[in-house]
């Protein structure tokens, strides 16, 4: 499973919930040692998740990650200013980031949700839930719940009657939008997905490292909404998660033996740190 790192530059794209962090307690302790090893060899770790900017920044600060990240299921890319030494297109600058907007604004998405409710579908969005209610349901702290509710390009929602999923998906696609299932919730979004965002950043990294190094990308995720990301990396890894149905995948992936950060760490170690023994 290992591969040579000679003349290669590795970039890792990873989901958070159920992948790098535990599905239930949001801990990444089982991946801590591997994260430190990756930092020593200067491997960029690009968080690519359905979480909002505020939620992701909590982890980039904790893990001291100063790299671009992808928020709200590929709705937006945040790139630290001066990260790339060359010019590239972006939509706006804010705080310390250059921002590439790929998603549909939340106001427009909320109109779709409103119509679905009007049509009689029982759905409940983060906006419909109080901070206390969402905190209790997710296990997030109240501060993290407030961060989770500040969505700009993606509506997270529950389908109260699972039998409605197929019909809702059909209606949404007919209207020109997309739905996807994460670890806990469904997501309504525009034409964006994690894969498109990964492709954009991969091209920027390829330009950054030039012709002297071959770029090798690894992607790790656990859910349906991670499939577009996994399709757009060199080495896709599906992390085991018994909390939800395993997504159907029609391409070659590595399946982890363990769940969450333990499975994440297991596979990264085999790919990058045990190649000498293969």
Selecting among 15, 17, 222, 226, the annotated active-site residue is 15
Confidence (pTM):
0.90
15 as an active site residue: the answer is: yes
Planar angle of CA 121, 124, 127, nearest 5 degrees: 135
136's tokens: 């209790």
Give me the tens of pLDDT residue by residue for the chain, a chain 278 residues long: 334 466 889 999 999 999 999 988 889 999 999 999 999 999 999 999 999 999 999 999 999 999 999 999 999 999 999 999 999 999 999 989 999 999 999 999 999 999 999 999 999 999 999 999 999 998 899 999 999 999 999 999 999 998 999 999 999 999 999 888 766 789 999 989 999 999 999 999 999 987 667 899 999 999 888 999 999 999 999 999 877 778 888 899 999 999 999 999 999 999 998 754 44
User: What span, in angstroms and rounded, lies between the C-alpha atoms of 100 and 141?
Assistant: 29
Q: What is the pLDDT of residue 278?
A: 40
143's tokens: 């501060």
Q: Name residues whose C-beta falls within 8 Å of residue 102's C-beta, 6 or more positions apart in sequence.
A: 74, 75, 76, 77, 153, 190, 192, 196, 197, 200
């Amino acid at each position: 499973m290992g591969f040579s790192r000679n003349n290669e530059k590795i970039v890792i794209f990873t989901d958070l919930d159920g992948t790098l962090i535990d599905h239930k307690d949001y801990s990444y302790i089982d991946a801590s040692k591997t994260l430190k090893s990756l930092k020593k060899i200067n491997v960029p770790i690009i968080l690519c998740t359905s979480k909002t900017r505020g939620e992701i920044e909590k982890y980039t600060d904790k893990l001291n990650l100063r790299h671009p990240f992808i928020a709200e299921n590929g709705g937006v890319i945040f790139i630290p200013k001066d990260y790339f030494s060359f010019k590239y297109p972006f939509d706006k600058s804010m705080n310390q980031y250059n921002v590439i907007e790929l998603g549909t604004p939340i106001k427009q998405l909320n109109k779709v949700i409103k119509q679905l409710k009007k049509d009689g579908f029982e759905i409940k969005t983060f906006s419909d839930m109080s901070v206390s209610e969402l905190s209790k349901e997710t296990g997030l702290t109240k501060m993290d719940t407030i961060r989770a509710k500040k969505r700009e390009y993606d509506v997270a929602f529950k389908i109260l009657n699972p039998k409605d999923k197929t019909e809702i998906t059909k209606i949404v696609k007919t209207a020109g939008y997309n739905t996807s299932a994460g670890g806990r919730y469904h997501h309504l979004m525009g034409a964006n997905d994690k894969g498109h965002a990964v492709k954009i950043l991969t091209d920027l990294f390829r330009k950054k490292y030039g012709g002297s190094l071959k770029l090798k990308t690894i992607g790790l995720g656990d859910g349906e909404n991670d499939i577009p990301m996994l399709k757009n990396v060199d080495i896709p890894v599906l992390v085991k998660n018994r909390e939800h149905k395993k997504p159907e995948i029609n391409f070659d992936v590595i399946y982890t033996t363990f769940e969450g950060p333990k499975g994440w760490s297991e596979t990264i170690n085999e790919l990058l740190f045990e190649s000498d023994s293969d």
